[in-house]
Structure 1
Amino acid sequence: MNMPNIIFFIIAIVAIFIIGKIFAWPLKVLLNLIVNGIAGGILLWLINLVGGNFGLVIPINAITALIAGILGIPGVLFLIILNYLR
């Protein structure tokens, strides 16, 4: 192997590594949204299940599901606070 082939090989390996990193970032964000959405949905369901006995009911609609899905557990806590403020 001559020197230009070795340099090209090294550049190709670095380029593949950089492209892999670029595509991994959105995947992490998507995975984080999925985990937050599942945790928020389960927590909303549990709050309605248990809180119904105490008068704490958060209606599950598009807005509350979106807040709980994007923000996760802090979003559900925000919804509880908003429920007490109204």
Structure 2
Amino acid sequence: MDPVITVSIVVGLVLILLLVGAPLKPVRWLGKGVIKVLIGALMLFLLNTIGTSFNIHIPINVITTFVSGFLGVPGLAALIIIKYAILP
């Protein structure tokens, strides 16, 4: 597809949303979810950085990021227990 057409479609959709208005509740819900996922990825990164001296490493992927982001520190602890106590 031609880039001009793609940009025109995106600009048109943005203008329609600005004129009509986007429903605020789903946008707010989506924003909170994205922030939680980013915080989960940051927590995993910090755990892997600090945990190198304790031989702790949890891979950063979609599932572990969602678990640590939405469950917080208990989710991070659960990931560590699952990794080292349940999995061989």
Higher helix share: 1
Structure 2 gaps of 5+ residues are: 1-20
TM-score with structure 1 length normalisation? Answer: 0.59
Give 1:43 deviation, angstroms.
0.4
The 1:39–1:57 alpha-carbon spacing in structure 2 relative to 1, beyond 3 Å, is same
Greater RCO structure (CA 8 Å; 6+ sep):
1
Largest Rg, 1 or 2: 1
Number of matched pairs? 65
Runs of 4+ in 1 over 6 A off after TM superposition: none
The Cα RMSD (Å) is 2.4
Residues in 2 aligned to 1:62 and 1:30: alpha-carbon distance in whole angstroms: 16
Q: Structure 1: which 5+ runs fail to align?
A: 1-19
TM-score (normalizing by structure 2)? 0.58
Identity %: 32
Kept after mapping to 1: 8 A contact 2:40/2:66: no
